[in-house]
Amino acid sequence: MKSARAKTPRKPIVKKGSQTNLKDPVGVYCRVRPLGFPDQECCIEVINNTTVQLHTPEGYRLNRNGDYKETQYSFKQVFGTHTTQKELFDVVANPLVNDLIHGKNGLLFTYGVTGSGKTHTMTGSPGEGGLLPRCLDMIFNSIGSFQAKRYVFKSNDRNSMDIQCEVDALLERQKREAMPNPKTSSSKRQVDPEFADMITVQEFCKAEEVDEDSVYGVFVSYIEIYNNYIYDLLEEVPFDPIKPKWNSCSTPMRNTDFVPPQSKLLREDKNHNMYVAGCTEVEVKSTEEAFEVFWRGQKKRRIANTHLNRESSRSHSVFNIKLVQAPLDADGDNVLQEKEQITISQLSLVDLAGSERTNRTRAEGNRLREAGNINQSLMTLRTCMDVLRENQMYGTNKMVPYRDSKLTHLFKNYFDGEGKVRMIVCVNPKAEDYEENLQVMRFAEVTQEVEVARPVDKAICGLTPGRRYRNQPRGPVGNEPLVTDVVLQSFPPLPSCEILDINDEQTLPRLIEALEKRHHLRQMMIDEFNKQSNAFKALLQEFDNAVLSKENHMQGKLNEKEKMISGQKLEIERLEKKNKTLEYKIEILEKTTTIYEEDKRNLQQELETQNQKLQRQFSDKRRLEARLQGMVTETTMKWEKECLLFQPDQNAPPIRLRHRRSRSAGDRWVDHKPASNMQTETVMQPHVPHAITVSVANEKALAKCEKYMLTHQELASDGEIETKLIKGDIYKTRGGGQSVQFTDIETLKQESPNGSRKRRSSTVAPAQPDGAESEWTDVETRCSVAVEMRAGSQLGPGYQHHAQPKRKKP
């Protein structure tokens, strides 16, 4: 079973920026020609009026391992094998001709493989005129009665038109008619029977809303692009009877031999439009004259017999129809002699040469070179379409290679927005053209996605419309008689006034009687006329009064509306002022909001910083607590071990161990005497031999001794100074530091013999040598001299001193 493969969906066109000019896609139509033989294999099928489907022929499937696919392509409209030239013209070319008459440019070209029916579509055949003769017929049907006289418009070499007055145009016509062998005018010229059937169009076609206050002139030109050179097909090649011509063998040619035409160059006019410099433009006044000019150039076009087509076009042909339009003056009698008011529009009908593969045409020599140039120009056209499509879809600005080919360079203005562009893709459904048709369909698919700016309407000259017929005398409408004729017919006829005899007494009395009757009838008609005139005047007066009253009424309504409008304007002004005030307040609030948001961001950053700082402090605190907990656990275990070692026998009575003072004679002591102690005058003074006296406990002294003694002074309850000697043993810790375990306290106290007490103020503290207040308040504070390891301590690597509390801030 055959499986149909749908076409890849088209990507949406990306429109760049905001564009004020409207754009239309290139209108691409497809026309399928009938097969040459009924039993011939077909590769194209018309699905509906917008879609065709390509089938892979049997031969291609065998060569490609049975690979079979069906591809569908969509067009603006598809014309089948039974489509008439009239139907094609009405859809494709009629709108272009209508735009031409209204001052807009148009481009229509046929594209396809050799033998697909391009020339038949454009030119036609006997009895079946193509698009070109039908366009000419519609133009002259529309402007036939409004054409300017010959030579009123005169072309120049700058792609513009000059305008002449009626006298100058008449002199030039007489001058041309006086020339030897003048051309026969179009009214006296008989139509060439060779193309008479092509221009005989049965259907009458005319443009809508033609400007009657303008005059028109039609100019045609015909060129061909052969081997990427431009040639003028209407150029009259001169003969030089004096100067000899030389051939390639350096021998003189006959003077009457044909001189090859010279190629033309492309130029750019002041409006940046491309045109062929020196191209012949012929003014024509009828369809027959215009088609005869075309037929004369068609005979010069290069055609050749190839394997695919007996009369294959070897060049691209361009038939230009230029319509010149100029308004009439204020009186409507003559053409307005202002060159700025001339409107020039152009319709280009292009018959492209067929794309072909040289291995199928079996071309050699010049035919091979022609085929290469044809394919190269068509490839340049495809490249330009691809770049235009890419620039419009993706917003790029790639340079379009118009100058790579004369064909694309000539029509670059149409793709830049100087007119409407339409293309008819002609296809031959025979299986042998499958691959060529596939390439044609792909090119048509790309072309449909190119958009061209819509041309603007022409400016209005500003003169009063209807001036052509305003000053012309008008006769009776239809067959109605004049009023004077009716009145004269109502009078009685006059008798014969001829007097043959001198004694005739009847002729004059009869004449007098008839005249009196006429006079009486005239008087009655005058009275009736006056009566009706007075009645009509009364009606007019009544009508004037009614109109006046209505005007007064309307004026009163108008005044009320004006008052209402004035009040609404005042209200609008008030609302605008209020709106400006609110906008100013909104602006202030927006600025305030911006400031607050900035402050909010700063506060949030500061809050985050503080939170991070608190987190770090909390982490440090937890680490410190864990370390202190470990120290407490370690110290507890040590004390438990020591208690187990010194635990007395359970059967022995408990004995309190007392250290003899004499035992300390052999140990080394640290004698800790704070600088805040006062010198007493007691006879007994504490003295320890071999002691290291320090005012502040430090690691170095503790490491050298085994015993520790702290001299502590405090004020007793009786007001006397009491000196306590706090003793302890020094142990080494696992962390490499020293700890002190206090074992005994000795007290020295001085008392008066008569029991009297020297009271001192308990609030007065002993003076400090350095003037600083003592921070040692009790025994517990003075005895906290344990030394432990901590990283970063100033006492050494890994030690912490607990005997120096922090000083309070002032």
Ramachandran region, residue 466 (left: φ > 0; alpha: ψ -120 to 50; beta: rest): left
Return the residue matching tokens 């120290």: 631
Contact 421, 350 (CB under 8 A): no
Q: Are the C-beta atoms of 220 and 322 separated by less than 8 Å?
A: yes
The DSSP annotation for 436-459 comes to HHHHHHHHHHHHHT-EEEPPPPPP
Q: In this structure, what token pair is assigned to residue 365? A: 């020599």
Q: Residue 283: beta bridge partners?
A: 219
774 near 766, Cβ under 8 Å?
Answer: yes
DSSP string, 581-613: HHHHHHHHHHHHHHHHHHHHHHHHHHHHHHHHH
Helices 131-143, 94-101: crossing angle, 10 deg rounding: 40
Nearest to 111 by CA among 431, 384, 374: 374
**Token pair for residue 796?**
């050494």
Residues found in the chain? 810
User: Using CA atoms, how far apart are residues 84 and 128, in angstroms rounded to an integer?
Assistant: 8
DSSP 68-130: --EEEEE-SEEE-TT--HHHHIIIIIHHHHHHHHTT--EEEEEEEBTTSSHHHHHTEETTEE-
Determine contact, residues 85/124, Cβ cutoff 8 Å. yes
- Binding site residue list: 112-119
Between vectors from CA 202 to CA 199 and to CA 204, what angle results, nearest 5°? 100
| List of residues 6+ apart from 338 with CB closer than 8 A | 163
DSSP state of 6: P
State the Cα–Cα distance between residues 536 and 120, nearest whole angstrom.
Answer: 69
List all residues 6 or more positions away from 650 whose beta carbon is below 8 Å from its beta carbon.
none
Q: Which two tokens stand for residue 712?
A: 């502590």
- 3-state SS of 224-250 is EEECCEEEECCCCCCCCCCCCEECCCC
Which tokens belong to 480?
A: 């109605």
Give the burial class of 93: count Cβ atoms within 10 A of its Cβ; 0-12 exposed, 13-18 middle, 19 or more buried.
buried
Q: Three-state SS for 151?
A: coil
Annotated binding site for ATP: 112-119
Q: How far apart are CA 324 and CA 336, in angstroms?
A: 13
Of 6, 45, 4, 82, which is closest to residue 430 (Cα–Cα)? 45
Tokens of 582: 């609110």
**Four-point Cα dihedral 667, 744, 781, 773, nearest 10:** -80
571: CB partners within 8 A, 6+ apart? none
Cα–Cα dist 550/724, whole Å: 131
Contact between 221 and 253 under an 8 Å Cβ cutoff? The reply is no
